[in-house]
Amino acid sequence: MATMEIEGRVVVGEEMRVVEGTVVVEDGEITEIREEEVESDDVIIPALVNAHTHIGDTIAKETGRGLPLDEVVAPPDSHKHRMLRSASRDEKRAAMRHAVERMRSDGIGAFGDFREGGLEGAEDFRAATADSPVESVAFGSGPPEVLDIADGYGASGARDDDFTEERAEAREREAIFGIHAGERDADDIDGAFGYDPDFLVHMVHAREEDLDRLNEDGTPVVACPRCNLVIGVGKPPVEELVEATTVALGTDNVMLNVPSLWREMEFVSKHYDIPDDEVLRMATVNGARAIGAEGGTVEEGAPARLVVLHGDRSLAYTQDVLAGVVRRAGAVDVKQVVLQ
Protein backbone atom coordinates (compact mmCIF):
# COMPACT_ATOMS: atom_id res chain seq x y z
CA MET A 1 0.00 0.00 0.00
CA ALA A 2 1.19 3.47 -0.80
CA THR A 3 2.33 6.05 1.68
CA MET A 4 -0.20 8.77 2.40
CA GLU A 5 0.26 12.12 4.11
CA ILE A 6 -2.75 14.04 5.40
CA GLU A 7 -2.42 17.57 6.72
CA GLY A 8 -4.63 19.50 9.07
CA ARG A 9 -5.65 19.86 12.66
CA VAL A 10 -5.25 16.38 14.04
CA VAL A 11 -7.19 15.02 17.02
CA VAL A 12 -4.54 12.80 18.57
CA GLY A 13 -4.72 9.86 20.94
CA GLU A 14 -7.29 8.82 23.47
CA GLU A 15 -7.00 12.20 25.15
CA MET A 16 -8.22 13.82 21.90
CA ARG A 17 -5.47 16.44 21.89
CA VAL A 18 -5.68 18.84 18.91
CA VAL A 19 -2.38 19.47 17.13
CA GLU A 20 -1.54 21.06 13.81
CA GLY A 21 0.47 18.76 11.60
CA THR A 22 0.70 15.85 9.21
CA VAL A 23 -0.50 12.28 9.65
CA VAL A 24 1.75 9.82 7.84
CA VAL A 25 0.22 6.48 6.83
CA GLU A 26 2.27 3.56 5.58
CA ASP A 27 0.95 0.09 4.83
CA GLY A 28 -2.31 0.74 6.62
CA GLU A 29 -0.71 2.04 9.79
CA ILE A 30 -0.24 5.53 11.19
CA THR A 31 3.55 5.68 11.41
CA GLU A 32 4.01 9.33 12.36
CA ILE A 33 2.12 12.40 13.45
CA ARG A 34 4.42 15.29 12.63
CA GLU A 35 3.62 18.46 14.54
CA GLU A 36 4.27 21.31 12.14
CA GLU A 37 2.65 24.26 10.47
CA VAL A 38 0.51 23.17 7.55
CA GLU A 39 -1.55 24.87 4.87
CA SER A 40 -4.72 22.85 5.35
CA ASP A 41 -7.33 23.65 8.00
CA ASP A 42 -9.01 20.28 7.58
CA VAL A 43 -9.70 18.33 10.75
CA ILE A 44 -8.57 14.73 11.16
CA ILE A 45 -10.37 12.54 13.68
CA PRO A 46 -10.63 8.79 14.28
CA ALA A 47 -13.20 6.99 12.16
CA LEU A 48 -16.40 6.85 14.21
CA VAL A 49 -17.63 3.67 15.88
CA ASN A 50 -21.35 3.03 16.08
CA ALA A 51 -21.50 0.61 18.98
CA HIS A 52 -25.11 -0.47 18.60
CA THR A 53 -27.26 -0.88 15.50
CA HIS A 54 -29.92 -3.14 14.03
CA ILE A 55 -29.29 -2.59 10.33
CA GLY A 56 -31.79 -5.30 9.36
CA ASP A 57 -34.40 -2.62 10.14
CA THR A 58 -33.28 -0.69 7.09
CA ILE A 59 -36.07 -2.42 5.14
CA ALA A 60 -38.66 -0.76 7.40
CA LYS A 61 -37.58 2.87 7.69
CA GLU A 62 -40.20 5.20 9.13
CA THR A 63 -42.60 2.46 10.11
CA GLY A 64 -43.69 1.52 13.62
CA ARG A 65 -43.81 5.11 14.75
CA GLY A 66 -45.80 5.75 17.91
CA LEU A 67 -46.07 2.10 18.95
CA PRO A 68 -44.96 1.15 22.47
CA LEU A 69 -41.52 -0.44 22.75
CA ASP A 70 -42.60 -4.08 22.92
CA GLU A 71 -44.90 -3.73 19.94
CA VAL A 72 -42.15 -2.16 17.85
CA VAL A 73 -39.11 -4.31 18.53
CA ALA A 74 -39.58 -7.19 21.02
CA PRO A 75 -39.10 -10.70 19.56
CA PRO A 76 -40.78 -12.69 18.14
CA ASP A 77 -44.01 -11.00 17.05
CA SER A 78 -43.46 -7.26 17.11
CA HIS A 79 -43.85 -4.99 14.13
CA LYS A 80 -40.12 -5.20 13.35
CA HIS A 81 -39.98 -8.98 13.42
CA ARG A 82 -43.02 -9.24 11.18
CA MET A 83 -41.39 -6.82 8.72
CA LEU A 84 -38.18 -8.85 8.77
CA ARG A 85 -40.05 -12.10 8.13
CA SER A 86 -41.98 -10.63 5.24
CA ALA A 87 -38.86 -9.54 3.35
CA SER A 88 -36.80 -11.95 1.24
CA ARG A 89 -33.21 -12.67 2.20
CA ASP A 90 -32.00 -10.84 -0.90
CA GLU A 91 -34.03 -7.78 0.03
CA LYS A 92 -32.63 -7.81 3.53
CA ARG A 93 -29.07 -8.22 2.29
CA ALA A 94 -29.44 -5.35 -0.17
CA ALA A 95 -30.89 -3.08 2.52
CA MET A 96 -28.11 -3.95 4.97
CA ARG A 97 -25.47 -3.34 2.32
CA HIS A 98 -27.04 0.05 1.71
CA ALA A 99 -26.97 0.91 5.42
CA VAL A 100 -23.29 0.00 5.78
CA GLU A 101 -22.33 2.09 2.76
CA ARG A 102 -24.30 5.05 4.11
CA MET A 103 -22.52 4.71 7.44
CA ARG A 104 -19.13 4.49 5.71
CA SER A 105 -19.69 7.62 3.68
CA ASP A 106 -20.78 9.34 6.88
CA GLY A 107 -17.48 8.59 8.64
CA ILE A 108 -18.24 5.37 10.48
CA GLY A 109 -15.37 2.86 10.39
CA ALA A 110 -16.85 0.16 12.60
CA PHE A 111 -20.19 -0.81 14.04
CA GLY A 112 -21.65 -3.51 16.26
CA ASP A 113 -24.94 -4.95 15.07
CA PHE A 114 -27.45 -7.00 17.02
CA ARG A 115 -28.64 -9.27 14.25
CA GLU A 116 -32.05 -10.80 14.44
CA GLY A 117 -33.02 -14.00 12.65
CA GLY A 118 -30.65 -16.53 14.22
CA LEU A 119 -28.32 -18.42 11.88
CA GLU A 120 -29.89 -17.13 8.66
CA GLY A 121 -29.81 -13.60 9.96
CA ALA A 122 -26.11 -13.84 10.76
CA GLU A 123 -25.39 -15.37 7.35
CA ASP A 124 -27.23 -12.54 5.64
CA PHE A 125 -25.26 -9.99 7.63
CA ARG A 126 -21.97 -11.63 6.68
CA ALA A 127 -22.90 -11.73 3.00
CA ALA A 128 -24.08 -8.11 3.05
CA THR A 129 -20.99 -6.72 4.75
CA ALA A 130 -18.20 -8.92 3.33
CA ASP A 131 -17.02 -6.43 0.71
CA SER A 132 -17.10 -3.31 2.86
CA PRO A 133 -13.99 -1.78 4.46
CA VAL A 134 -16.18 -0.95 7.46
CA GLU A 135 -15.51 -3.33 10.32
CA SER A 136 -18.91 -4.95 10.67
CA VAL A 137 -19.16 -6.73 14.00
CA ALA A 138 -22.03 -9.22 14.17
CA PHE A 139 -23.72 -10.02 17.46
CA GLY A 140 -25.84 -13.00 16.56
CA SER A 141 -29.12 -14.25 18.03
CA GLY A 142 -30.85 -17.61 18.34
CA PRO A 143 -29.00 -20.84 19.17
CA PRO A 144 -25.43 -20.88 20.52
CA GLU A 145 -24.19 -22.22 17.15
CA VAL A 146 -24.78 -18.77 15.71
CA LEU A 147 -21.30 -18.09 17.10
CA ASP A 148 -19.93 -20.19 14.21
CA ILE A 149 -20.93 -17.25 12.01
CA ALA A 150 -21.22 -14.18 14.24
CA ASP A 151 -18.39 -12.47 16.13
CA GLY A 152 -20.29 -12.33 19.39
CA TYR A 153 -23.73 -12.86 20.90
CA GLY A 154 -26.36 -10.13 21.20
CA ALA A 155 -29.10 -11.04 23.68
CA SER A 156 -32.40 -9.22 23.22
CA GLY A 157 -32.98 -8.90 26.97
CA ALA A 158 -33.21 -10.90 30.18
CA ARG A 159 -37.02 -10.94 30.16
CA ASP A 160 -37.26 -12.36 26.63
CA ASP A 161 -35.53 -15.69 27.12
CA ASP A 162 -32.91 -17.64 29.04
CA PHE A 163 -29.44 -17.09 27.62
CA THR A 164 -27.40 -19.30 29.99
CA GLU A 165 -26.26 -21.66 27.26
CA GLU A 166 -25.48 -18.88 24.80
CA ARG A 167 -23.53 -17.00 27.48
CA ALA A 168 -21.50 -20.10 28.30
CA GLU A 169 -20.76 -20.75 24.63
CA ALA A 170 -19.62 -17.16 24.09
CA ARG A 171 -17.30 -17.41 27.08
CA GLU A 172 -15.93 -20.73 25.85
CA ARG A 173 -15.07 -19.14 22.50
CA GLU A 174 -13.87 -15.86 24.04
CA ALA A 175 -16.58 -14.11 22.05
CA ILE A 176 -18.19 -10.90 23.28
CA PHE A 177 -21.64 -11.19 24.89
CA GLY A 178 -23.80 -8.06 24.96
CA ILE A 179 -27.36 -7.61 26.17
CA HIS A 180 -30.10 -4.95 26.14
CA ALA A 181 -31.00 -3.86 29.67
CA GLY A 182 -33.08 -1.21 31.38
CA GLU A 183 -34.65 0.15 28.23
CA ARG A 184 -38.36 0.14 29.18
CA ASP A 185 -37.92 -0.15 32.95
CA ALA A 186 -35.44 -1.47 35.50
CA ASP A 187 -36.98 -4.97 35.72
CA ASP A 188 -34.52 -6.72 33.40
CA ILE A 189 -31.35 -5.11 34.75
CA ASP A 190 -30.57 -7.64 37.50
CA GLY A 191 -31.19 -10.45 35.04
CA ALA A 192 -28.82 -8.87 32.54
CA PHE A 193 -26.09 -8.41 35.15
CA GLY A 194 -26.62 -12.08 36.04
CA TYR A 195 -25.06 -13.06 32.71
CA ASP A 196 -21.91 -11.10 33.52
CA PRO A 197 -22.11 -9.43 30.11
CA ASP A 198 -19.21 -7.79 28.27
CA PHE A 199 -21.41 -4.76 27.67
CA LEU A 200 -24.93 -3.54 28.35
CA VAL A 201 -27.07 -1.58 25.90
CA HIS A 202 -29.37 1.30 27.05
CA MET A 203 -29.58 1.45 30.87
CA VAL A 204 -32.15 4.23 30.57
CA HIS A 205 -33.57 3.13 33.92
CA ALA A 206 -30.29 2.52 35.74
CA ARG A 207 -30.81 2.80 39.50
CA GLU A 208 -28.30 3.94 42.10
CA GLU A 209 -27.32 0.34 42.82
CA ASP A 210 -26.80 -0.31 39.11
CA LEU A 211 -24.48 2.67 38.80
CA ASP A 212 -22.54 1.37 41.82
CA ARG A 213 -22.29 -2.01 40.19
CA LEU A 214 -21.08 -0.56 36.89
CA ASN A 215 -18.53 1.43 38.82
CA GLU A 216 -17.29 -1.71 40.57
CA ASP A 217 -17.07 -4.14 37.68
CA GLY A 218 -16.42 -1.62 34.87
CA THR A 219 -18.92 -3.14 32.43
CA PRO A 220 -19.21 -0.75 29.47
CA VAL A 221 -22.60 0.68 28.56
CA VAL A 222 -23.70 1.56 25.05
CA ALA A 223 -26.12 4.47 25.31
CA CYS A 224 -28.59 5.18 22.49
CA PRO A 225 -30.30 8.38 23.66
CA ARG A 226 -31.88 9.50 20.37
CA CYS A 227 -33.46 6.11 19.86
CA ASN A 228 -34.69 6.05 23.47
CA LEU A 229 -36.31 9.40 22.78
CA VAL A 230 -38.12 8.35 19.62
CA ILE A 231 -39.38 5.12 21.20
CA GLY A 232 -40.55 7.08 24.21
CA VAL A 233 -38.78 5.15 26.98
CA GLY A 234 -37.12 8.17 28.55
CA LYS A 235 -33.73 9.77 28.64
CA PRO A 236 -30.76 7.68 29.81
CA PRO A 237 -28.74 9.18 32.70
CA VAL A 238 -25.69 9.61 30.48
CA GLU A 239 -23.79 11.91 32.86
CA GLU A 240 -24.15 9.42 35.72
CA LEU A 241 -23.25 6.51 33.44
CA VAL A 242 -20.11 8.36 32.29
CA GLU A 243 -19.17 8.91 35.95
CA ALA A 244 -19.63 5.20 36.65
CA THR A 245 -18.10 3.43 33.66
CA THR A 246 -17.01 3.50 30.01
CA VAL A 247 -19.87 4.72 27.84
CA ALA A 248 -20.10 4.28 24.07
CA LEU A 249 -22.75 5.56 21.66
CA GLY A 250 -25.05 3.64 19.37
CA THR A 251 -27.87 4.68 17.09
CA ASP A 252 -29.88 1.45 17.65
CA ASN A 253 -32.69 0.66 15.23
CA VAL A 254 -32.56 2.08 11.73
CA MET A 255 -36.35 1.98 11.50
CA LEU A 256 -36.86 5.18 13.44
CA ASN A 257 -33.36 6.59 13.74
CA VAL A 258 -30.81 7.47 11.07
CA PRO A 259 -27.48 5.78 11.96
CA SER A 260 -25.54 9.05 12.18
CA LEU A 261 -23.07 9.53 14.98
CA TRP A 262 -22.84 13.23 14.13
CA ARG A 263 -26.44 13.58 15.21
CA GLU A 264 -25.90 11.33 18.22
CA MET A 265 -22.89 13.35 19.38
CA GLU A 266 -24.68 16.66 18.94
CA PHE A 267 -27.69 15.36 20.82
CA VAL A 268 -25.57 14.08 23.71
CA SER A 269 -23.48 17.23 23.86
CA LYS A 270 -26.53 19.50 23.99
CA HIS A 271 -28.73 17.43 26.29
CA TYR A 272 -26.08 16.60 28.85
CA ASP A 273 -23.16 18.31 30.49
CA ILE A 274 -20.30 16.18 29.16
CA PRO A 275 -16.91 17.49 28.01
CA ASP A 276 -16.34 17.48 24.24
CA ASP A 277 -13.34 15.13 24.40
CA GLU A 278 -15.46 12.62 26.31
CA VAL A 279 -18.28 12.82 23.76
CA LEU A 280 -15.79 12.12 20.98
CA ARG A 281 -14.34 9.17 22.92
CA MET A 282 -17.89 7.82 23.31
CA ALA A 283 -18.28 7.88 19.53
CA THR A 284 -14.86 6.36 18.80
CA VAL A 285 -12.46 4.55 21.12
CA ASN A 286 -15.00 3.60 23.79
CA GLY A 287 -17.20 1.98 21.17
CA ALA A 288 -14.26 0.16 19.59
CA ARG A 289 -13.35 -1.34 22.98
CA ALA A 290 -16.92 -2.32 23.84
CA ILE A 291 -17.54 -4.21 20.60
CA GLY A 292 -13.98 -5.45 20.07
CA ALA A 293 -13.30 -3.42 16.91
CA GLU A 294 -10.07 -1.94 15.63
CA GLY A 295 -9.21 1.74 15.62
CA GLY A 296 -10.82 4.47 17.63
CA THR A 297 -7.78 6.72 17.96
CA VAL A 298 -5.39 8.60 15.70
CA GLU A 299 -1.92 7.88 17.03
CA GLU A 300 1.37 6.39 15.98
CA GLY A 301 1.11 2.63 15.65
CA ALA A 302 -2.68 2.65 15.28
CA PRO A 303 -4.41 1.31 12.17
CA ALA A 304 -5.15 4.03 9.63
CA ARG A 305 -8.87 4.35 10.27
CA LEU A 306 -9.72 8.01 10.24
CA VAL A 307 -11.99 10.70 8.88
CA VAL A 308 -10.86 13.94 7.25
CA LEU A 309 -13.33 16.79 7.71
CA HIS A 310 -13.44 19.85 5.45
CA GLY A 311 -12.05 22.83 7.31
CA ASP A 312 -14.05 25.32 5.28
CA ARG A 313 -17.63 24.16 5.80
CA SER A 314 -19.31 23.76 9.21
CA LEU A 315 -15.95 23.98 10.95
CA ALA A 316 -14.87 27.25 9.32
CA TYR A 317 -14.36 30.02 11.91
CA THR A 318 -14.83 27.47 14.74
CA GLN A 319 -12.77 28.66 17.68
CA ASP A 320 -12.84 25.26 19.39
CA VAL A 321 -12.12 22.28 17.16
CA LEU A 322 -13.48 19.57 19.44
CA ALA A 323 -16.68 21.49 20.14
CA GLY A 324 -17.09 21.97 16.39
CA VAL A 325 -16.65 18.26 15.75
CA VAL A 326 -19.12 17.04 18.37
CA ARG A 327 -21.73 19.84 18.19
CA ARG A 328 -21.64 21.06 14.62
CA ALA A 329 -20.09 18.64 12.11
CA GLY A 330 -22.19 16.44 9.88
CA ALA A 331 -22.23 14.40 6.70
CA VAL A 332 -21.63 17.53 4.62
CA ASP A 333 -18.24 17.95 6.29
CA VAL A 334 -16.84 14.52 5.49
CA LYS A 335 -14.08 14.95 2.92
CA GLN A 336 -12.43 11.54 3.07
CA VAL A 337 -12.90 8.33 5.01
CA VAL A 338 -9.69 6.32 5.29
CA LEU A 339 -10.25 2.70 6.34
CA GLN A 340 -7.08 0.69 5.90
CB of 24 to Zn ion, least distance (A): 38
Please identify, using beta-carbon distances, which residue of 226 and 327 lies nearer to Zn ion. Answer: 226
201-205 contact pairs (CB < 8 A, 24+): 201/52, 201/114, 201/250, 201/252, 202/228, 202/233, 202/236, 203/236, 203/237, 203/241, 204/228, 204/233, 204/234, 204/235, 204/236, 204/237, 205/234
Q: How far apart are CA 283 and CA 48, in angstroms?
A: 6
Distances (CA, A) of 209 to 108, 244, 259: 34, 11, 31
Give least dist CB 224 to Zn ion, A.
Answer: 7
- Considering only the stretches 2-10, 59-67, 248-256, 317-325, report the one whose residues sit in contact with Zn ion under the rule CB under 5 A: 248-256
Return the residue nearest Zn ion (CB atom): 252
Distances (CA, A) of 1 to 25, 27, 59, 251, 304: 9, 5, 37, 33, 12
User: In this complex, which beta carbon is closest to Zn ion, that of residue 201 or of residue 315?
Assistant: 201
| Beta carbon nearer to Zn ion, 7 or 116 | 116
Q: Mark the segment that binds Zn ion (CB under 5 A) among 129-137, 155-163, 164-172, 244-252.
A: 244-252
Q: To the nearest whole angstrom, how small is the minimum distance from the Cβ of residue 327 to Zn ion?
A: 25
Q: Which of residues 72-91 bind Zn ion (CB under 5 A)?
A: none
Number of amino acids touching Zn ion (CB under 5 A): 1
Q: Which stretch binds Zn ion (CB under 5 A): 41-49, 246-254, 290-298, 330-338?
A: 246-254
Q: Which amino acid is at 128?
A: A
Among 7, 116, 252, 278, binds Zn ion (CB under 5 A): 252
Q: What is the DSSP letter of 303?
A: B
In this complex, which beta carbon is closest to Zn ion, that of residue 42 or of residue 252?
Answer: 252
Distances in Å between the Cα of 119 and the Cα atoms of 34, 142, 162, 197 are: 47, 7, 18, 21
Could you tell me which stretch among 95-103, 245-253, 266-274, 313-321 binds Zn ion (CB under 5 A)?
245-253
For Zn ion, the closer CB: 28 or 68? 68
Stretch of 86-94, 133-141, 233-241, 251-259 contacting Zn ion, by CB under 5 A: 251-259
Closest CA relative to residue 146, chosen from 120, 171, 172: 120
The residue type found at 177 is F
**By the criterion CB under 5 A, which residues form the site for Zn ion?**
252
